[in-house]
Chain A
Amino acid sequence: MYDKLLVAVDHSKVTEHVLSAARDLASLSHGEVWVLHLREREVMPRAGLIEKETIDEAQIEVDRAVEELTKAGIKAHGMVRSTIYGYAAREIVEDAKSLDVGVIIMGTRGRGDLAGLVLGSTAHKVIHLADRPVLVIR
């Protein structure tokens, strides 16, 4: 059912559940998993690009995820890239298209109702932009 799966991870509390879902889906369908972490950088006047995490921190999270999936017998690949704050959703969708994955798996950061409705979230943007199923883990 899913030859290829794309998992977006972001240091959030639900990452563990996101990986667990990816592991289950990939195991059931003998699929291959791509783990994507996008380092969002904010553009600040005069200060330029502000990084919220180092590339090493991002790489550690992805390596850990790939290792966990590999231990479960799943072929997994890690990807770490940088993007501008607010552009993560379209990058996730573009990766999903170029890899032609069967499903995108990601968490929502679980903000409160009002914040979620007003600000939207990466998951909601992905749902709107995607042309394939999106599994959202809360």
Chain B
Amino acid sequence: MPEQQIERDHRIVAGVDGSDSSLAALRWAIRQAKLTGDSVDAVIAWEPPAASGLGWGVAMADETDYAELAAKTVTEAIGGVTDPESHVSVRAVVGEGNAAQVLLDASDGADLLVVGCRGHGGFASALLGSVSQHCTHHAHCPVVVIRGGR
């Protein structure tokens, strides 16, 4: 999808976090890639939980491997929505950091960024920032926000 004079790399980035809306985004990205011949990067972000020291800089020991959990989530997501007959190349990408920033970085040079939207309505949507809103503000490529699970 052309946009300004930026060189694109025939890649669609989909944000994945395991939620239904993110699965819908990945499904949409794969369908679009089938039309355009692009590849798909399924991108998941993880952040270590904030250390909750007791004023002494002491944090609870946490053996959880969040990167591995994220990798498992995105791999399962790809397996769940990919149709082997579609012949679309889908790559799992795991990034550490704020979800919106990881997506913006991953979509640098991409043709399209596809994100889900949790669908908070009314007052909640007015209060809450969201990854999709941040992406539509700051992305350097067109952004598709998937609503309604289409």
> What residues on B are CB-neighbors of A24 within 8 Å?
1-2
Binary flags per residue of A105-138, CB closer than 8 Å to B gives 1, else 0: 0001000010011000001100110111111111
Q: Is A102 an interface residue (CB 8 A)?
A: yes
| Cβ-defined contact, A28 with B133, below 8 A | no
B139 at the interface (CB under 8 A from A): yes
User: B102 at the A/B interface (Cβ < 8 Å)?
Assistant: no
B144 within 8 A of A: yes
Contact B136 A21 (CB under 8 A): no
Minimum distance in angstroms from A114 CB to a CB of chain B:
11
Chain A residue contacts of B144, Cβ below 8 A? 103, 133-136
A: number of interface residues (CB 8 Å): 27
Q: Are A137 and B133 in contact (CB under 8 A)?
A: no
**CB within 8 Å: A-B pair count:** 72
- Residue in chain A with minimal CB distance to B121: A128
> Complex formed: what's the CA distance from A131 to B150 in Å?
9
A17 close to B (CB within 8 Å) = yes
User: Is B147's beta carbon under 8 Å from chain A?
Assistant: yes
Q: List chain A positions with a Cβ less than 8 A from chain B.
A: 1, 17, 20-21, 24-25, 28-29, 102-103, 108, 113, 116-117, 123-124, 127-128, 130-138
6 closest cross-chain pairs (CB), A and B: A131-B148, A28-B35, A136-B136, A130-B147, A127-B145, A135-B144
Instruction: List 10 additional contacts besides A28-B36, A127-B136; criterion CB under 8 Å.
Output: A1-B32, A21-B142, A24-B1, A131-B147, A132-B147, A134-B144, A134-B147, A137-B3, A138-B142, A138-B143
28 interchain pairs, CB-CB under 8 A: A1-B31, A20-B1, A21-B2, A21-B3, A21-B142, A24-B1, A24-B2, A102-B150, A108-B137, A113-B137, A116-B137, A117-B137, A124-B133, A124-B136, A127-B136, A128-B125, A130-B145, A131-B148, A132-B150, A133-B145, A133-B147, A135-B143, A135-B144, A136-B142, A136-B143, A136-B145, A137-B3, A138-B139
